[in-house]
Structure 1
Amino acid sequence: MTAKATVLIVDDTPVNIDVLVGILKDDYEVIAAINGQMALNIVRHTPPDIILLDVMMPGIDGYEVCRRLKEDLTTRHIPVIFVTAKITLEEELQGFAVGAVDYITKPVSAPLVQARVRTHLALHDQNRELEHRVRQRTAELQETRLKIIQRLGRAAEYKDNETGLHVIRMSHYSHILAQAAGLGEHEAEMLLNAAPMHDIGKIGIPDEILKKPGKLEAEEFRIMQQHCQIGAEIIGEDSSELLQLARVVALTHHEKWDGSGYPKGLAGEDIPRVGRMVAVADVFDALTSKRPYKRAWSLEEATDYLQRSAGSHFDPELVPLFVQQMERVQQVQARFADKQQGSD
């Protein structure tokens, strides 16, 4: 039996929610939010298949909710239909500009609501099926591309006295965390492919700083921090979805939840979610890997550090998801273990 599609209804008026729920509940799983922030939180934890979104709401209005969803690489695929009482041509164009696929006017017509939802879900399913077929037919090309990306990432790691397997392990950890956090198959796969380039900017950092065995001086650390921007410039601004994602990861994986990271000092949800995921994966692998200057931490030590740093360094919602996947993480560790891996 095929699972029902999930519809998220967002409206600050409970009566309007009740009307739409009554229209859709027999055919779909229906969830609701009474404001924009609640809607964003729901989408982050339980991504729906389609969203019916009121425009005029207190706080974050519908346009801003849609804009944020479409800016996020992990949610921009979800179709958004605006449901509104009044609409001018300018407002309608504004809605389409921020990413909506359609409009429904209030008071709503039950047959029209059902038809619009059914049509856009079908279009969305067709697009996903087409994407799936394209991915199948280009599997060999994608594998080659991934190997190239991994080798570029490994070039930076070798320069930093890291082992080349670091970028492979941390990319798989990022993939595991993305799946645990509810990202779709395509989005999680994209992060697997993009994560290896997170530190590509280290190629542009002088060896005397990158390989310095002791603590960096303030000016040296300032130069080291530039590897994020250098990485973004190496990747460039490109129409490729993969390179767009890789650029975001390179720029944001050193940002911290409390705003104390770099290069921009972003905090909380202002940090792109993919950057927050890679931060967890990158640090975990660094902690559990043996290096000339440190022993490999045990899983217990590393997970304890992640948990203690949740809410300061790391997204407090992502850390427990990662820890819950430790069996899969250990499988990656075993598969891509460094030859010299081990504790002192």
Structure 2
Amino acid sequence: MIKNETEKETILIVDDTPDNLAVLGEMLMPHYQVRVANSGPKALTVAGTEPLPDLILLDVMMPEMDGYEVIKYLKDNPRTSDIPVIFITALDTCEDEAKGFDLGARDYISKPVRAPILLARVKGQLEIKAARDILRNQNNWLELEIQRRIRQYQKVQDISMRALASLAEARDDETGNHILRTQNYLKVLAEELAKHFKYADVLTKQTIEIYTKAAPLHDIGKVGIPDHVLYKPSKLTPEEWEIMKTHAQIGADAIRRAVGNEEDKDAVDFLYVAMDIAGFHHEKWDGSGYPKGLASNHIPLAARLMALTDVFDALISDRVYKSAYPMDVTIKIINEGRGTHFDPDIVDAFNRRVDDFENIAARYKEQQVPKDRK
């Protein structure tokens, strides 16, 4: 803590000889707040008591616990480790000084102590400590500011992605809260799958966060589908269905162009995941999906997770071409797709978290049932 101009720094004097405590105290009290301890154990107690001392003058030769042992405890305690220590001792060999400095002492003053030397050394160490405290506070402020800016950037990033996703949603008015539901389904599913030994190293907390952040862009490609196909109220013809299927590739290509030749891939890693999700969430485990006909583990994991969540939400939701399926029927259909449409491990994870899926569906339930198109 940085002292203001009117506060005096606190000095703790540690010495087992009362006369030494008195002499040092008389030298220092006109300039500083002085506290004393006549043994190593008492010194440790006082040093850890608020207000913490700004500096400790520590005698080396003491019974029970000498100064070397005291400083070891001080440096091992996070509360006292940064308090500067000056050894006061009659020992004046190079070996004694080297040992003290190795243990963390900042200075060494030999007895008998002379006031000018003591005051100069104490003042010098306190100035160094004050400068170090200022630097530490500045670093702490900078770290907090960086974290605040990162959170702000991430929030803008999330909002921007929601805005992009809403472009697709605006063109496909059936979706409503579809984006929020599928995003939460995917997060739950990924967290459950991460418990599986095969995915523990892949689905880290950071990766799951990236998957969740990228999920809203899964249908961004629908902005490229013509109105007469996207808004057709009846069943699509084979030709129209082929056009509808192109939304996956359109979405992936759009994100790829947005990424461009970005060298710092870590800065846009969620967009690479979004590219996989948009491009491959209609692929099927058995290779019968689109647009590439990828199968099993050749389908990116994020897209395999999105595949199940997207189908689940479509099944439980009203559409212009169908009514919502009951939950038990939806669960049955998902399980029938195990090993054909969906990754078996992901279906197993889904079965363990069905209750969470139901809760998410209820939380983000559509406020209005879409009207049938004429």
Could you tell me which of 210, 213, 221 is aligned with 1:193? 213
Q: CA deviation at 1:146?
A: 1.5
Q: Take 1:254 and 1:134, find their aligned partners in 2: how far apart are those partners?
A: 39
The match for 1:170 is: 182
* Stretch deviating more after TM superposition (300-309 or 289-298): 289-298
Q: How far, CA to CA, are the matches of 1:297 and 1:135 in structure 2?
A: 45
Q: Look up the match of 2:16.
A: none
> Which of 150, 156, 167 lines up with 1:138 in the alignment?
150
Aligned mates of 1:146, 1:161 — CA distance in 2: 21
Alpha-carbon separation, structure 2, partners of 1:158 and 1:194: 18
Aligned residue type for 2:170:
Y
CA contact (8 A) 1:205 1:227 kept: yes
Cα shift readout 1:26-56 (whole Å, capped 9, x = no counterpart): xxxxxxxxxxxxxxxxxxxxxxxxxxxxxxx
Gap regions ≥5 residues in structure 2: 1-144, 195-202, 260-264
Post-superposition offset of 1:164: 3.1
1:178-189 to structure 2, matched below 5 A, reads 178-182=190-194, 183-189=203-209
For 1:210, the equivalent position in structure 2 comes to 230
**Compared CA separation, residues 327 and 230, structure 1 to 2 (3 A):** same
Distance change >3 Å, CA 289–CA 135, structure 1 → 2: farther
1:308–1:334 distance in 2 versus 1, CA, 3 Å: same
- Deviations, residues 141-188 of structure 1 (Å, cap 9, x unaligned): 222321221232122123123233101110111111111111211111
What is the CA–CA distance in structure 2 between the aligned matches of 1:333 and 1:219, rounded to whole Å?
33
Q: Is 137-146 or 183-192 further displaced after alignment? A: 137-146
1:261 aligns with 2:289: yes
What is the identity, as a one-letter code, of the residue corresponding to 1:188? I
- Shift of residue 246 of structure 1? 0.3
Structure 1 residue 135 displacement after superposition: 7.0
Q: Which amino acid aligns with 1:176?
A: V
1:98-122 deviations in Å (ceiling 9; x for gaps) = xxxxxxxxxxxxxxxxxxxxxxxxx
Q: What are the residue-to-residue correspondences of 1:37-76 with 2, within 5 Å?
A: none
TM-score, structure 1 length as denominator?
0.58
Query: What SS does structure 1 have at the residue aligned with 2:294?
Result: coil
Q: What is the distance in 1 between the residues matched to 2:345 and 2:148? A: 33
Contact 1:259 1:267 survives alignment (8 Å) = yes
What does residue range 320-335 of structure 1 map to in structure 2 within 5 Å?
A: 320-335=348-363
Structure 1 contact 177–321 (Cα < 8 Å) conserved: yes
Cα pair 1:154 1:165 within 8 Å, conserved: no
RMSD of Structure 2 on Structure 1 (CA): 2.0
| Mapped pair 1:148 → 2:160 | yes
Give the direction of change, closer, same or farther, for the CA distance of 1:261–1:138 in structure 2 (3 Å limit): same
- Does the CA contact (< 8 Å) of 2:183 and 2:215 recur in 1? yes
| 1:297 partnered with 2:305 | no
Whole-angstrom CA distance in 2 between matches of 1:134 and 1:318: 37
Q: 2:342 aligns with which of 289, 301, 314?
A: 314
Q: Does 1:273 align with 2:301?
A: yes
Corresponding position of 2:245: 225
**Aligned-pair CA distance for 1:263:** 0.3
Q: How far 1:206 moved relative to its partner?
A: 0.3
Q: Which of residues 233, 245, 267 in structure 1 aligns to 2:273? A: 245
CA distance in 2 between partners of 1:222 and 1:322 (Å): 30
In structure 2, how many angstroms separate the alpha carbons of the residues matched to 1:141 and 1:280?
30
Cα deviation, residue 265, structure 1: 0.4
Cα separation, partners in 2 of 1:310 and 1:319, compared to 1, 3 Å? same
- Specify the SS of the correspondent of 1:236: helix
1-side partners of 2:235 and 2:272: how far apart?
A: 33
The residue that corresponds to 1:47 in the other structure is: none
Identity, % of aligned positions: 41
Q: Distance in 2 between matches of 1:280 and 1:144?
A: 28
Matched to 2:249, the amino acid is Q
When residues 289 and 234 of structure 1 are mapped into structure 2, their CA distance, relative to the original with a 3 A threshold, is same
Alignment CA distance shift 1:273-1:310 (3 Å): same
- Aligned-partner Cα distance in 2 for 1:229–1:134: 37
CA distance in 2, matches of 1:277, 1:222: 24
Q: Which residues of 2 match residues 26-41 of structure 1 at below 5 A?
A: none
Which digits, 9 at most, give the CA deviation of each residue in 1:289-326, with x for residues without a partner? 12233222222111110000111111111012012112
Aligned partners of 1:290 and 1:340 also within 8 Å: no
Equivalent residue of 1:254, what SS?
coil
Alpha-carbon separation, structure 2, partners of 1:135 and 1:275: 31
Q: Which blocks of at least 5 consecutive residues in structure 1 are unaligned?
A: 1-132
Question: Match of 2:274, as an amino acid?
Answer: A
User: Structure 1's 284 and 136: CA in aligned 2 closer, same or farther, altered over 3 A?
Assistant: farther
TM-score (norm 2): 0.53
